[in-house]
Amino acid sequence: MSDLLAGPADIAAGLAVHGADTVDRSAPASVRADLVARDVPARLAAKDPTLWGSDAEATARVRLGWVDTHHRSRELLPQLAELTDELADLDHVVLAGMGGSSLAPEVIARTLGRPLTVLDTTDPGQVRAALADRLERTVVVISSKSGTTVETDSHRRAYWQAFLDAGMTEAEAARHFVVVTDPGSPLAATAAEAGLVTIPADPEVGGRYSALTAFGLVPAALAGVPVTDLLDDADALAESLGRDRDNPGLALGAALGAAATTGRDVVALTSDGTGVEGLGDWAEQLLAESTGKAGVGLLPVVVESPDAPGAAGPDVLTVSYGGALGPGVAPGAGSADVAVNGPLGAHFLTWEYATAIAGAVLGVDPFDQPDVAESKQNTERILAAGPPAEAPSFTDGAIEVYAPPGAPADLSGVLRRLLDGLGDDGFLAVTAYLDRRGDAAVAGLRPVLARATRRPVTFGWGPRYLHSTGQYHKGGRPVGSYLQVTGAVNDDLPVPGRPYTFGTLQAAQAAGDRQALTGRGRPVLRLHLTERAAGVAQLLDAAGRTGT
């Protein structure tokens, strides 16, 4: 156990936060003491919308439902039990959703060991594989808070057509869908017209705070998770939210705020291997989208293991997470500064509360996402007008390189130049518009490049990251550089009822985000794999040589 974790812990309802007090004491003045002096814990527990300033008050007033949504979500339990029984023969659960509509249920299913197929991509190969998998036994959960998410609408259209092509009537096809969306959304109207079961979401909870609402509970319940346990965990923890002491959410939030305001605004998230799986991917969206705006924010970096490159550094706060610890088991992993351990439902509420606290410390509105829409709008324009004309700077094997003027004309050289441009305070974001299953090896770029640069390196699958870290990329500290990886589509897939294909949509999303980044003066290097398997292998080899 790290010496930093040896001090007192904040513990409530079986969830413990170790090391936060040490981080808070490292600041010139205690962030936690200031929060307590301003009565922030009790005010947040009472859903006071004035905590983040007058500019944020209107948003906060309709976005604080997460504080007690675990109470209201109990009203869903009878309906979920009935629905699970009715659909017992449909044992392949597919969740079509982006960002906050899919990240929490994926964590729940992984942690509880239940099968759940998450479809949060527009890659035609990945979508086609999902459509071909046990179609007659599939129930598709279509999740979108706004009801206008283009990826999720495309998935709904593709599955509907697939069911009809398999010989089902429209009434038979409708049985294979469950919709989760806000009341009155366009998706709710579409679902009603088609006769799809619809479970309304909590309209006063934003997507990234929605783990314990219908967005998290519906797909998890259909996958066989005992979701009542999650609500019980959160309910037990909720008693601590208004306290000044023994309040894990306050401890974690104060530590995040103290670190961010004293030069450690990079948060490395790592599992300690004690049974909570994939929480870092969910917390990544929560932290990045809630705090990354107005030129400040916490940059989350999900690392593969406690000793992975990027898990520690002078500007890094390393936070490990895991399940409840047994007697004599030391908290933390590797060089963790803070360790968070406990039951999953309590984790969700603790991290949400801590993120809202960190937003108050940083002086930002943790409930809006002012820069997310730009990439979406660019995508819409490209779909309407066609892709921009682009010619590669050069081609190296299976990779077309689209580099800024003056870049070296070899793959390792252009990667090295990108890394050298990070300087002493920059970060690199790798974004891959590829198949998260078939092209999974490309995620190995993150540790390889982090080892080569010694600066933070993040990795995100496109377009999934647009609904997660994309806000930080545009609104956070303007010190990022971007490596975008795209791939050839050899077998495209139409989006039924739309004038574009999944491949066209995927390419437009990648181009739209490039435009948003370059329009802000961010350095962007695009590598296009003309043959995916060969290109991934070549890219990993070239990245490995940048550190030599």
For the stretch 396-424, pLDDT in tens is 999 999 999 899 999 999 999 999 999 99
Sign of torsion over alpha carbons 271, 277, 280, 283: negative
**3 confidence band (pLDDT: 50, 70, 90):** low
Tokens for 525, please give them.
Answer: 């290097």
Contact 106, 348 (CB under 8 A): no
Q: What is the pLDDT of residues 510-525, one digit of tens each?
A: 999 999 999 999 999 9
Confidence of residue 1 (pLDDT cuts 50, 70, 90): very low
| Interatomic CA distance for residues 211 and 93, integer angstroms | 18
pLDDT at site 387: 87
CA-only gyration radius of the chain, Å: 23
% pLDDT > 70, the chain? 98
User: Where would I find the H helices in 73-165?
Assistant: 77-86, 103-112, 124-131, 150-165
CA distance 370 to 262: 25
Query: For residue 394, what are the β-bridge partners?
Result: 401
Write out pLDDT tens, residues 145-194. Answer: 999 999 999 999 999 999 999 999 999 999 999 999 999 999 999 999 99
First to last CA, the chain: 33
pTM tops 0.95, yes or no: yes
Residue 317, φ and ψ in degrees, nearest 5 = -100, 115
- Which residues, other chains included, contact 326 with Cβ-Cβ below 8 Å and sequence gap of 6+? none
Instruction: Name the CA dihedral angle for 481, 339, 246, 65, rounded to a multiple of 10 degrees.
Output: 40
